[in-house]
Amino acid sequence: LFHKGISQSGSTLSYWAFKNDTTQRAFRYINYFGFEVTTIYELVEYFQNISWQELVIYQRYALTYQEQNQHLTPFIPTLEHEQQWGGEVFLPGPPEALIEFGYVNDVPLIFGLNPIKKVIYEDT
Protein backbone atom coordinates (compact mmCIF):
# COMPACT_ATOMS: atom_id res chain seq x y z
CA LEU A 1 0.00 0.00 0.00
CA PHE A 2 2.70 2.51 1.00
CA HIS A 3 6.36 2.64 0.05
CA LYS A 4 7.38 5.55 2.33
CA GLY A 5 5.85 7.19 5.40
CA ILE A 6 5.80 10.33 7.52
CA SER A 7 4.46 10.27 11.08
CA GLN A 8 3.60 13.76 12.26
CA SER A 9 3.30 14.41 15.99
CA GLY A 10 2.52 11.00 17.29
CA SER A 11 2.39 7.28 17.05
CA THR A 12 -0.50 4.88 17.01
CA LEU A 13 1.33 3.09 19.83
CA SER A 14 0.61 5.97 22.23
CA TYR A 15 -2.14 5.19 24.77
CA TRP A 16 -4.32 8.03 23.49
CA ALA A 17 -3.87 7.42 19.79
CA PHE A 18 -5.81 4.21 19.17
CA LYS A 19 -9.01 2.49 20.33
CA ASN A 20 -10.32 -0.88 19.25
CA ASP A 21 -13.81 0.54 18.90
CA THR A 22 -14.84 4.19 18.65
CA THR A 23 -18.43 3.49 17.67
CA GLN A 24 -19.93 4.68 20.97
CA ARG A 25 -17.88 7.87 20.77
CA ALA A 26 -19.18 8.54 17.25
CA PHE A 27 -22.80 7.90 18.24
CA ARG A 28 -22.40 10.19 21.29
CA TYR A 29 -21.08 12.93 19.02
CA ILE A 30 -23.94 12.62 16.52
CA ASN A 31 -26.54 12.52 19.29
CA TYR A 32 -25.21 15.86 20.55
CA PHE A 33 -26.60 17.36 17.34
CA GLY A 34 -30.00 15.81 18.04
CA PHE A 35 -29.80 13.16 15.33
CA GLU A 36 -31.18 9.73 16.16
CA VAL A 37 -29.01 7.38 14.14
CA THR A 38 -29.17 3.66 14.86
CA THR A 39 -26.91 2.02 12.28
CA ILE A 40 -23.29 2.39 11.25
CA TYR A 41 -24.45 3.26 7.74
CA GLU A 42 -26.52 6.21 9.02
CA LEU A 43 -23.53 7.29 11.09
CA VAL A 44 -21.20 7.23 8.08
CA GLU A 45 -23.74 9.15 6.00
CA TYR A 46 -23.96 11.86 8.66
CA PHE A 47 -20.19 12.22 8.90
CA GLN A 48 -19.92 12.45 5.12
CA ASN A 49 -22.28 15.43 5.12
CA ILE A 50 -21.14 17.46 8.15
CA SER A 51 -18.88 20.44 7.53
CA TRP A 52 -15.31 20.40 8.76
CA GLN A 53 -16.09 23.52 10.81
CA GLU A 54 -18.78 21.67 12.77
CA LEU A 55 -16.46 18.72 13.29
CA VAL A 56 -13.77 20.97 14.77
CA ILE A 57 -16.00 23.26 16.83
CA TYR A 58 -18.04 20.50 18.48
CA GLN A 59 -15.46 17.71 18.68
CA ARG A 60 -15.24 17.81 22.47
CA TYR A 61 -18.82 16.53 22.69
CA ALA A 62 -17.66 13.17 21.31
CA LEU A 63 -15.72 12.61 24.54
CA THR A 64 -16.93 11.68 27.99
CA TYR A 65 -16.03 13.92 30.91
CA GLN A 66 -13.31 11.42 31.93
CA GLU A 67 -11.85 11.39 28.39
CA GLN A 68 -11.80 15.21 28.32
CA ASN A 69 -9.88 15.26 31.61
CA GLN A 70 -7.30 12.90 30.10
CA HIS A 71 -6.87 15.36 27.19
CA LEU A 72 -7.77 12.67 24.68
CA THR A 73 -8.63 13.52 21.09
CA PRO A 74 -11.95 12.39 19.65
CA PHE A 75 -10.89 11.41 16.14
CA ILE A 76 -8.26 8.68 16.16
CA PRO A 77 -7.50 5.53 14.19
CA THR A 78 -9.72 2.55 14.95
CA LEU A 79 -10.14 -0.99 13.72
CA GLU A 80 -11.89 -1.68 10.45
CA HIS A 81 -13.67 -4.96 9.92
CA GLU A 82 -14.02 -6.59 6.51
CA GLN A 83 -17.45 -7.90 7.44
CA GLN A 84 -18.65 -4.31 8.02
CA TRP A 85 -17.52 -2.85 4.72
CA GLY A 86 -17.12 -5.91 2.51
CA GLY A 87 -13.69 -5.08 1.16
CA GLU A 88 -10.07 -4.35 1.88
CA VAL A 89 -9.44 -2.53 5.13
CA PHE A 90 -6.63 -0.18 6.14
CA LEU A 91 -6.28 -1.14 9.82
CA PRO A 92 -7.31 -4.79 10.36
CA GLY A 93 -5.99 -5.17 13.93
CA PRO A 94 -4.47 -3.41 16.93
CA PRO A 95 -1.18 -1.75 15.89
CA GLU A 96 0.81 -3.58 18.59
CA ALA A 97 -0.37 -6.96 17.28
CA LEU A 98 0.24 -6.02 13.65
CA ILE A 99 3.83 -5.04 14.49
CA GLU A 100 4.42 -8.07 16.73
CA PHE A 101 3.29 -10.53 14.07
CA GLY A 102 5.05 -8.76 11.20
CA TYR A 103 2.01 -7.42 9.36
CA VAL A 104 3.83 -4.23 8.46
CA ASN A 105 5.75 -2.94 5.49
CA ASP A 106 9.43 -2.26 6.00
CA VAL A 107 9.59 1.23 4.51
CA PRO A 108 11.61 4.41 5.12
CA LEU A 109 9.86 6.46 7.81
CA ILE A 110 10.29 10.08 8.89
CA PHE A 111 9.03 11.20 12.30
CA GLY A 112 7.99 14.83 12.67
CA LEU A 113 6.95 17.11 15.50
CA ASN A 114 4.64 20.09 15.52
CA PRO A 115 5.11 22.56 18.42
CA ILE A 116 1.52 23.86 18.22
CA LYS A 117 -0.33 20.55 17.93
CA LYS A 118 -3.83 20.39 19.38
CA VAL A 119 -4.22 24.17 19.08
CA ILE A 120 -7.48 23.76 17.18
CA TYR A 121 -8.80 21.28 19.73
CA GLU A 122 -7.72 23.19 22.80
CA ASP A 123 -9.02 26.52 21.52
CA THR A 124 -12.57 25.28 20.83
SS3 of residue 19 by DSSP: strand
Please report the pLDDT score of residue 114 as a whole number.
73
Task: Give me the chain's average pLDDT, please.
Answer: 80
Residues whose CB is less than 8 angstroms from the CB of residue 19 and which lie 6 or more positions away in sequence, other chains included: 25, 76, 78
| pLDDT tens digits for range 32-49 | 878 888 888 888 888 888
101 pLDDT band (50/70/90 cuts)? very high
Residue 78 contacts residue 18 (beta carbons within 8 Å): yes
Residue spans of the domains in the chain: they are 5-123
- Whole-angstrom distance, CA of residue 94 vs CA of residue 80: 10
Name the β-bridge partners of 109.
5
Choice between 119 and 79, residue whose per-residue pLDDT is larger: 79
Average pLDDT, integer, range 73-97: 78
User: Among residues of the chain, what percentage have pLDDT more than 70?
Assistant: 87
